[in-house]
Structure 1
Amino acid sequence: MTNVIANLTSKLRFEYWKYNNNSSNMIISRSTKALLSICKIANSAKFTTSPGVTKEKWDLLAAVCVERKPVIIPELNKLEKEFKEYLADLELRNSLKNDMEIRNEAEMKQQELMKAGEDLDSDIILKQTVQDFIDASSEEASKFKLASRITDDDTTNNTKSLNRKLDKNLVLLINNKFGKDSFFTLPQAKWQAGETMRQTAERVLKETCGDSMKTQIQSNAPAGFYKYKYPKEIREKGSQGAKVFIYFARYQQGDITNKNLQYQWLDRNELCKTMPEKYCKSLQEMLIDE
């Protein structure tokens, strides 16, 4: 750096000398004016150099936030229920009559003609009336029961199962070791030379979850970032910490086949209670609020 500054100063001083010794220096270009201004600054400035700064070594990691979308819609709140009823009533009042309603009106007229003793239209006389069909359908519908929103895995709080929190987004966490301690974090691994970060993220999922679980990484670029320092015993070996580039992936189908893997599928509230606080905060910045 010192040599570069010295060379630049010499060139500027030479231009300044040519200007002072040139009789036709009344007409000069803008570039020469700029050089002259810099030269004056260079002559008056005192250049100093700072001692060399030792760069810290950081490991580059790719992590993947695998999210399962809700299977069922969340329960409606009071306002949403009232608005739903309003839309249903509005649609009913503005809608045209369907075939069943038109047929029912025709049958009602036939019944009135029967009571009056008049001749009936043979084309309208049917074996099953609309009212008979409505009664049979209502009886069948009364026997149907909706499945419970609460599953057995919800009751037992089986965090390894995807058959829980059906109306929530679930995120995959695995147990990672950091020195002597271990924490539940996103699946992650170190970047290897020759890989893109996207390829590292794909390798993370394959090595962690196996081939049975299918996911789709949403972008070639990471959606989030987090960095942390290693424990002291690891920093003494060279690397100061890790810079983690977080990719977002959508769960599609399949299960985790790695039987030795300690993992959990957690919702937004459970994430903050399980992950390190700062890591969770960085993760929440890239997740959509529910």
Structure 2
Amino acid sequence: MQTNRLFPCLFRVLRTSLRVRETHGLTSISPGGLKFSSVAVDAELPSFVSEGVGKWQIVGAACITRLPVICPPMTPIEEEYSKLIAKLEVEHSLRSDHELRLEQDQIRQDLLKVKEMDDIELEESSQQTAFEYEDACVEELKAFKFAPTVTEADQKGDIQTLNRALDRALVLLVKQKLGDDCTWVFPQSPWIPGETLRQTCERIIKEKCGTNLKVKVLGNAPCGFYKYKYPKQLRSSGYIGAKVFFYKAQVTGVNGEVLPGSDIAEYQWLTHEQLNEKLKSSYAKSVFKFLVSDL
């Protein structure tokens, strides 16, 4: 009896799924990401793709981030917590080999003071003691110079290089020609039929940033979404606007050079606070829904 009820239910679910896939032009959700059907996009689109008269153009965009190279300075509460953890670790830990050696050397020195030379071998007394080793380490530390955290690019105010703001996360922003104007956005390009959105994003990185910048795309699904309408004079192609799907990507190397594409007028590596100065308010609102500040 339960089996007779189960088969009609499964049939209705499969039929509904096929209708949704055919209607929305979604051919598959593969390991490479979302894949749309070019036939469905060129045909009459449903409400989630079309709005009003005309069609929405599907666009991919890459949010390329360089993670901090060095640890940022600790906040007061982090410093206090770090000292507490270090204190507890010393109190509850066993003595190290160096601490045990210090005790043995102290006993040996006490024996030397009372002139009990028979208990000490001459070879042992001529070796470097733990106290002497500590003094040598202290002198070596004093002579060591830490590399500066403020680079030459920081001093010059060069924001087109990765060798700056080493304790902060940087995001690549480009001044890209969109229509007749150049706008500060993440590198973007229209989706080409047959591609997954991840493949579109990987193509964008090569076309807009060059091959010298080593970047890894994170995930097969978009992390954010933004929609805007084209000016009326640019709607001759049949698209009334663009629906932009953002993908996160990370720079895998410490150094890397951006070779901007033909439609890129300028590029900058910016911190999260500097993004607000360049991006439009509506664009920034969509971006900061998935881009978390590192402060």
Class of the TM-score when normalised by the shorter of the 2 chains: 0.7 to 0.9
Q: Distance in 2 between matches of 1:235 and 1:200?
A: 23
User: Which amino acid counterpart does residue 285 of structure 2 have in structure 1?
Assistant: K
Instruction: Give 1 or 2 for the bigger CA radius of gyration.
Output: 1
- Tell me whether 1:265 sits opposite 2:263 in the alignment: no
Q: CA deviation at 1:237?
A: 5.2
Q: Tell me the number of residue pairs that the alignment of Structure 1 and Structure 2 aligns.
A: 238
Does structure 1 conserve the Cα–Cα contact (< 8 Å) formed by 2:56 and 2:243?
Answer: yes
Per the alignment, in what secondary structure is the counterpart of residue 149 of structure 2? coil
Does structure 2 conserve the Cα–Cα contact (< 8 Å) formed by 1:215 and 1:252?
Answer: yes
Q: Distance in 2 between matches of 1:128 and 1:191?
A: 70
* CA distances 1:202-250 after superposition (whole Å, capped 9, x unpaired): 1111111112212111111111100111223213553211110111111
Give the alignment partner of residue 83 of structure 1, picking from 56, 81, 84: 81
Unaligned runs of 5+ in 1: 1-52
Percent of residue pairs identical: 40
> What residue in structure 1 maps to residue 228 of structure 2?
228
Does structure 1 conserve the Cα–Cα contact (< 8 Å) formed by 2:201 and 2:247?
Answer: yes
Does structure 2 conserve the Cα–Cα contact (< 8 Å) formed by 1:178 and 1:231?
Answer: no
* CA distances 1:124-154 after superposition (whole Å, capped 9, x unpaired): 4242111111111101100112222211111
Does structure 1 conserve the Cα–Cα contact (< 8 Å) formed by 2:207 and 2:261?
Answer: no
Q: CA RMSD in A?
A: 1.8
Please give the residue correspondences for 1:232-247 in structure 2 after superposition, counting only pairs within 5 Å: 232-235=232-235, 238-247=238-247
Which TM-score applies when normalising by structure 1?
0.77
Per the alignment, in what secondary structure is the counterpart of residue 60 of structure 2? strand
- Tell me whether 1:92 sits opposite 2:97 in the alignment: no
> What residue in structure 2 maps to residue 104 of structure 1?
102
> What residue in structure 1 maps to residue 199 of structure 2?
199
Unaligned runs of 5+ in 2: 1-50
User: Which amino acid counterpart does residue 280 of structure 1 have in structure 2?
Assistant: A
- Tell me whether 1:256 sits opposite 2:258 in the alignment: yes
User: Which amino acid counterpart does residue 267 of structure 2 have in structure 1?
Assistant: Y
Q: Distance in 2 between matches of 1:239 and 1:62?
A: 16
Does structure 1 conserve the Cα–Cα contact (< 8 Å) formed by 2:53 and 2:240?
Answer: no
Per the alignment, in what secondary structure is the counterpart of residue 174 of structure 1? strand
Does structure 2 conserve the Cα–Cα contact (< 8 Å) formed by 1:114 and 1:120?
Answer: no
